[in-house]
Amino acid sequence: MSFGRILTAMVTPMNEALEINYQEAARLAQYLIAHGSDSVVVCGTTGESPTVKDDEKVELFRVVKEALGKTPVVAGIGSYDTEASVALARKAATTGVDGLMAVVPYYNKPSQEGLFQHFKAIAEATSLPLILYNVPSRTSANLMPATVKRLAEIPNVVALKEAAGSVDQVTELKRMLPPEFVIYSGDDSMTLPMLALGCNGIISVAAHVIGDEMKQMVDAWFAGDTAQATQWHLDLFPIFKGIFVTTNPVPIKAIVNMLGINAGGVRLPLVEATPEEMKFIKNLMDDIKKLRDRDKAESITELKAACGKAGDTIV
């Protein structure tokens, strides 16, 4: 099973009562696939997994998979409780999803052996491909390369979402792991540097709003046009950083609402963006529009030049 190069870690849409809005979740998933994403991750931490109940998650898995058909859907099933993660993995497997993603257990800071046993138990609970997710800034525990190497020997542990923020750690991973083991950046701004180290793509937050542009960056890299990929990275970098003006997923939910998809609010202990933060987010959306207008103008200029060389006329 290939999940592609760009996976979006979806927000979880909610209504005014902060109940799950399943209809908008399906609509958002379809929008993402139409705008650069190859797959979606449902109920990762961007999807507010700690405050979405298991029965809600299972229904989200079912609804999104039904909406996307043959397009791969990855179910976020990880928590700090191995037994609960295993139970949710088994329930997820009944919904038709194509893979699982499990985050490093947060708060309780397991040893490397504890992490190995945790992920091993999840992997053995189903036959679905499992993506490991390392994000020490959120979990207080770092899944080390040597432990990933051990886990990669389990047949259905197929990928890692790496968000430790260390180029050295990514380098060690690439040195240790077999070439077929897939490594995704877990940080939008690290996408291009990690591609340069031989990684495979991105599990993204920013692709909610700039998925088409990210696809052009990634496609340019794999086509060998490193200069164009670098230019896209430089252009998109302020957006990669700007969408984290406050705690994720607060800003990206606000942006999805601006796109006309009703993502709603966030459940406590998260709170809505402040007026000052909303002003920043609105300015960020203006910057995205300017970037797209500039790109469109440059494309038209290039097309005119190409037609001119061919002796054609374009008006």
Q: What pLDDT, on the 0 to 100 scale, is given for residue 295?
A: 82
Q: Give the number of other CB atoms < 10 A from CB of residue 216.
A: 18
25: which 2 tokens?
Answer: 């979740």
Calculate the dihedral angle through the C-alpha atoms of 267, 246, 38, 82, rounding to the nearest 10 degrees: -50
Given 133, 184, 215, 253, the catalytic residue? 133
80 is catalytic: no
Mention every residue, 6+ apart, whose C-beta is less than 8 A from residue 166. Answer: none
Buried b (16+ CB within 10 A) or exposed e, 88-118: bbebbbebebbbbbbbbbbeeebeeeebbeb
Q: 248-251: long-range contacts at Cβ-Cβ below 8 A with a sequence spacing of 24 or more? A: 248/45, 248/46, 248/205, 249/11, 249/46, 249/47, 249/48, 249/205, 250/277, 251/277, 251/281
| CATH code for residues 6-273 | 3.20.20.70
What is the DSSP-derived secondary structure letter of residue 47? G
Q: Report pLDDT digits (tens) over 229-275.
A: 999 999 999 999 999 999 999 999 999 999 999 999 999 999 999 99
- List the chain domain ranges: 6-273, 279-315
* Separation between Cα atoms, residue 98 and residue 118, nearest integer Å: 21
Of 18, 6, 7, residue with least CA distance to 253: 18
Kindly name the residue from 57, 161, 215, 253 that is annotated as catalytic: 161
Sign of CA dihedral 254, 257, 258, 259: positive
Catalytic, 253? Answer no
Q: Tell me the average pLDDT across 280-297.
A: 92
Q: What confidence tens digit (pLDDT) does each residue in 144-189 have?
A: 999 999 999 999 999 999 999 999 999 999 999 999 999 999 999 9
pTM of the entire predicted model: 0.94
178, two tokens: 């077999």
Helices (H), the chain: 22-34, 54-68, 82-93, 112-125, 136-139, 145-152, 167-176, 191-196, 207-222, 226-242, 250-258, 275-309
Bridge partners of 131, per DSSP, are: 101, 159
Share of the chain above pLDDT 70, in %: 94
| Other beta carbons within 10 Å of 17 | 8
Reading the block at residue 23, the tokens are 């209809």
Mind listing the pLDDT tens digit for each residue in 58-74?
999 999 999 999 999 99
